[in-house]
Amino acid sequence: MGDNGVANEGSQARPTHWLKLTVAYDGAAYAGWQWQPSEPTVQGVLQDAWRSITHEEPCFTASGRTDAGVHAEGQVVGVETTSTIEPRRLLRGLNALLPDDVVIRAVEPAPVGFHATHDALRKTYRYQVLSGPVPPLFDRKHVWHWRAGQLDTERMGQGGAYLVGRHDFASLESTGSERSSTVRTITDLTVTSRPADGGERIDITVTGDGFLYNMVRTIAGTLVEVGRGAKPPEWVAEVLASRDRGRAGQTAPPQGLFLVRVEYA
């Protein structure tokens, strides 16, 4: 038995089965989820830990490829494996090997052929803004610090309501996406606030059946335009109808974005 508390396995052939991992991470130190040869990534450190325990070369599928600096509370990862190590021991062993900013929250059996990307029904993201004159200290890598005046969260919520439903979100997509369709359904969008760290913490929480490249960050940048009074709430509907990325607000910085949860059948 190794130092991680998981017994090493032999190389004999075993039946294949699928597992579902729920992963949380602070993305500040990583160049995103997806493995890169010369940059630290969340997939990279997870693959290293998996190899050490199972002696397999894993083929992970993730519910979404978060970008550099983006965080997750409930990223879902699927893996096909022949390992006979029971899930609770895999959970303990992986967490013993992973760095402090990556945590496996659950390891569960998954249906045959489980694919974390294609099988996802809904995803929820949260974008965090800290509005106030004093820079955040402890949350500096987890919020967009907005220091250019107070944001009106009621108006932001009114603007966000225009995005709920099934729409073509081409105007809220950054270039570089490989998606064949820009039509998506947002089922819920809320804007809430509370006092925090010398200012006001504003959370923009969005649930939908899928998201385009940088879509949530562009939603945040667009709603901030409404919140600061530069645009009326109904301008969001005009942006949506235009299908023109140049009409929307800026792409908010990555550190404020969290993948909260992913739902499956």
Instruction: Cite the active site residues.
Output: 67
Structure tokens belonging to residue 45: 């450190």
Closest CA to 197 of 143, 150, 152: 143
| Tokens at 202, concatenated | 């504003």
Cα torsion angle, 55, 57, 62, 68, sign: positive
DSSP string, 116-183: TTTT--EEEEEEEEEESSSPPSTTTTTSEEE-SS---HHHHHHHHHTT-EEEE-GGG--TT---S--E
Spatial distance between the Cα atoms of 221 and 129, rounded to a whole number of angstroms? 10
Helices (H) and strands (E) in the chain, counts: 5, 10
3-state secondary structure of 100: coil
Torsion angle (degrees, nearest 10) of CA 61, 64, 66, 70: -120
Both tokens of 13, joined, read 């052939």
Read off the amino acid at residue 75: Q
Query: 125 labelled as ligand-binding?
Result: yes
d(CA 156, CA 227): 5
Annotated binding site: 125
Binding site residues for substrate, as ranges? 125
